[in-house]
Amino acid sequence: MGVRKRLDIVGMAVLAEVTALGGGVVRDLILNVRPAAFQSLGYVLVPLAATVIVAFWHPHVARVMPVVMVLDAAGLGLFSAVGTEKALEAGLNPLHAALLGVATAVGGGVLRDILVGEIPTLLYDRQLYAVPATLGSAAMAVLYIYDLHGWRATLAAAVLAFVLRIAAMQYGWRAPLARGVRPPE
C-alpha cells in the first residue's frame, strides 16, 4: 500500500506499524492492559524489517504476493482466535470477546486504509475477510464456553478462519450485496 500510494520510507514504516499492531493495541486498550506490542521489541522490529524489504525490493515482493496472502490469511486466523481468547480470559462475555477478536484481526487494516484515505476494505469485503475472522472468533468463544481452552482450541479456531479465507480467495467468495446492487468490476 505504501508503494502504491507513493509514500516515503517514513510513511511506509508508519503504515507497516499501524497495520501490524493496530488491532492488538486497540484490543489491549479496551481490555485496560498494557498493549502486548509495547512489551517486546519484536512487535515493532518485524514491521520495520518488512518496510525495508518492501522499500528496496517491492517488485520482487509483488511477485510473491500469493505467498504473502497465504501468510496474511494465517495471521487473520491466529489474531482472531488469540484476540478472542485474550478477551475471554479478561472476563468479557463470549459475544463481546468474539467481537474484540474480530477487531484484533482486522483493526490494523482498517486503520491503514483510513490513513491512506481509502474506504476500509472491511466495509466492502471483497473475497471475504471479516467473515472468516468472525467465524474463527465465534468458534473460539464457543470452544471456551464448553471449557475447551489452550493451544488446541486456539489452533482449531485459527485454522477454521484460515481455511475459510483461503477458500474465499480461491473461489472468489464475497459477502452478499444489497438487493439490486451489482459488484464493482
- Residue 137 corresponds to which amino acid? S
- Measured from the Cβ of residue 131, the count of other Cβ atoms closer than 10 Å reads 18
Handedness of CA 54, 60, 63, 66 (dihedral sign): negative
**pLDDT (tens digit, 9 = 90+) per residue, 4-54?**
999 999 999 999 999 999 999 999 999 999 999 999 999 999 999 999 999
CA distance 120 to 41: 28
Distances in whole angstroms, Cα of residue 54 to Cα of each of 86, 158, 161: 31, 27, 27
Quickly tell me which residue has 474463527 as its cell. 136
Quickly tell me which residue has 479496551 as its cell. 30
Determine the distance from the C-alpha atom of residue 162 to the mean position of all C-alpha atoms in its chain, rounded to a whole number: 11
**pLDDT (tens digit, 9 = 90+) per residue, 98-150?**
999 999 999 999 999 999 999 898 887 667 899 999 999 999 999 999 999 89
Read out DSSP for 153-165? Answer: HHHHHHHHHHHHH
The three grid cell numbers given for residue 154, joined into one nine-digit string: 486456539
Residue among 77, 82, 72 at smallest CA distance from 150? 82
